[in-house]
Structure 1
Amino acid sequence: MKTMRPPISGRRPPRGISLIELLMAMGGVSLIITSSAVLLHGVMRAQSESRRFFDDERTSARLARQFRADVHAAAQVAAQVAATAGERLVAFTLPDGHTIEYRHTADRRQIQRRLLAPGNPVPTGREDYSFASACAAVVTVAQKQIHLELGAEGADGELAPPGVVRPPRSPAEAKRKPPALVVEADLGRDLRFLPARDGEAQP
């Protein structure tokens, strides 16, 4: 004969979670989610700034290479001594009569290279060099040596002296480093673009 076990009257039923414990658990989960979101936002922002920096570096290298090639190919140069934003920085005249202009846009974030045919003010070609932050641009001419410099803006919008940094206009601008570029080249150095003299064979 099977003996039945008597019920245990002193055993407590399973205890559920209280409202306070539920709120504490939800608060902890919310804190973890918020911290993860802030960390992810910081990583994405750092990646974006890093991408802008390397884009500026590539743009600077491309501008330096093209500017140097234009100086070497030019026969004449006309520089704007104190060019305001949006005006021409320098113009090169090629041996075939074409003109290459470099302009600094009004927002100071872009250098434009424009190709002009003889007697035609409308550009036949244009190439833009865009930067993430505003910068100052100066072109100086010393005999046949052409000097292009890009750097941080001063208080007057011109190129800031070494060691002088203008206060940033926004928190985002404070984290961005303005482009820094110095290019020096000699006018007409590329012999392929020079007219042949008497007794010399033309290419």
Structure 2
Amino acid sequence: MKTMPRPISGRRPPRGISLIELLMAMGGVSLVITSSAMLLHGVMRAQSESRRFFDDERTSARLARQFRADVHAAAQVGAQVAAPAGERLVAFTLPDGQTIEYRHTADRRQIQRRLLAAGNPTPTGREDYPFASACAAVVTVAEKQIHLELGAEGADGELAPPGVVRPPRTPAEAKRKPPALVVEAVLGRDLRFLPARDGEAQP
């Protein structure tokens, strides 16, 4: 007569995963995914702000070079101390009669350089200098010294005094520094090395 094998003592019968354990596992996975997404979003936002910062730096350098070159090549200048948004900041007249004007756009995020032929109000060329955030722009003239300054806006939209910054319009703008640029140049500096025309005095 055969005897049945006795069950091994201490061995538990197999069982499935309970609903509570499954929910806990899903919650842990969701937490990891959410944390990873937030970290990735933060990294992407930091990269975007870094690109904007370096774009502003390159734009500022490009504007400074061009503005200084225009001042040095100009024969005459007509400027406003503080121009409303969208209006002309300054205009330079070249020896050949062409006019170069700088404008601050209405959204206050861009400086435009326009080239106009003599007697023609339609621009024959234009170059844009866009910035990531709004800024104030002021051009001042003291005899032959031309001064361009870009910086933070004050409450009235004009250039704010040092240390005074307009409240940001958006949270992203609060983390973004407005462009800061100061350019000084001597009017007609390049013309000193040109021979004077008949009947004209050397500048």
Deviation of 1:191 (Å) = 3.5
Residues 133-158 of structure 1, C-alpha deviations (whole Å, 9 max, x = no match): 00000000000000000000000000
* Contact 1:73 1:187 (C-alpha < 8 Å) held by counterparts: yes
Deviation of 1:127 (Å) = 0.1
- 1:43 maps to 2:43: yes
Q: Where do 5+ consecutive residues of structure 2 fail to align?
A: none
Deviation of 1:82 (Å) = 3.0
Would the alpha carbon gap of residues 102 and 194 (structure 1) be closer, same or farther in structure 2, given more than 3 Å must change? farther
Deviation of 1:83 (Å) = 1.0
| Residue range with higher mean Cα deviation, 134-143 or 185-194 | 185-194
How large is the Cα RMSD of the aligned pairs?
Answer: 3.2
Would the alpha carbon gap of residues 54 and 122 (structure 1) be closer, same or farther in structure 2, given more than 3 Å must change? same
> How many correspondences in the alignment?
203
Q: Where in structure 1 do 4 or more consecutive aligned residues deviate above 3 Å?
A: 1-12, 191-203
Instruction: Name the CA distance, whole Å, in 1 between partners of 2:52 and 2:62.
Output: 15
Instruction: Name the CA distance, whole Å, in 2 between partners of 1:82 and 1:199.
Output: 36
SS in 1 for 2:148: strand
* Contact 1:111 1:130 (C-alpha < 8 Å) held by counterparts: yes
Deviation of 1:167 (Å) = 1.2
Would the alpha carbon gap of residues 199 and 90 (structure 1) be closer, same or farther in structure 2, given more than 3 Å must change? closer
Would the alpha carbon gap of residues 83 and 193 (structure 1) be closer, same or farther in structure 2, given more than 3 Å must change? farther
Instruction: Name the CA distance, whole Å, in 2 between partners of 1:65 and 1:172.
Output: 29
Deviation of 1:81 (Å) = 2.7
* Contact 1:95 1:194 (C-alpha < 8 Å) held by counterparts: no
Instruction: Name the CA distance, whole Å, in 2 between partners of 1:100 and 1:202.
Output: 22
Instruction: Name the CA distance, whole Å, in 2 between partners of 1:117 and 1:104.
Output: 20
- 1:168 maps to 2:171: no
SS in 2 for 1:198: coil
SS in 2 for 1:178: coil
Deviation of 1:168 (Å) = 1.1
Q: Where do 5+ consecutive residues of structure 1 fail to align?
A: none
Instruction: Name the CA distance, whole Å, in 1 between partners of 2:86 and 2:198.
Output: 43
SS in 2 for 1:97: coil
Would the alpha carbon gap of residues 99 and 13 (structure 1) be closer, same or farther in structure 2, given more than 3 Å must change? same
TM-score by length of 2: 0.91
Instruction: Name the CA distance, whole Å, in 1 between partners of 2:160 and 2:15.
Output: 72
Residues 106-125 of structure 1, C-alpha deviations (whole Å, 9 max, x = no match): 00000000000000000000
Would the alpha carbon gap of residues 11 and 116 (structure 1) be closer, same or farther in structure 2, given more than 3 Å must change? same
* Contact 1:100 1:114 (C-alpha < 8 Å) held by counterparts: yes
Residues 31-83 of structure 1, C-alpha deviations (whole Å, 9 max, x = no match): 00000000000000011001000000000000000000000000000002331
Percent of pairs with identical residues: 94
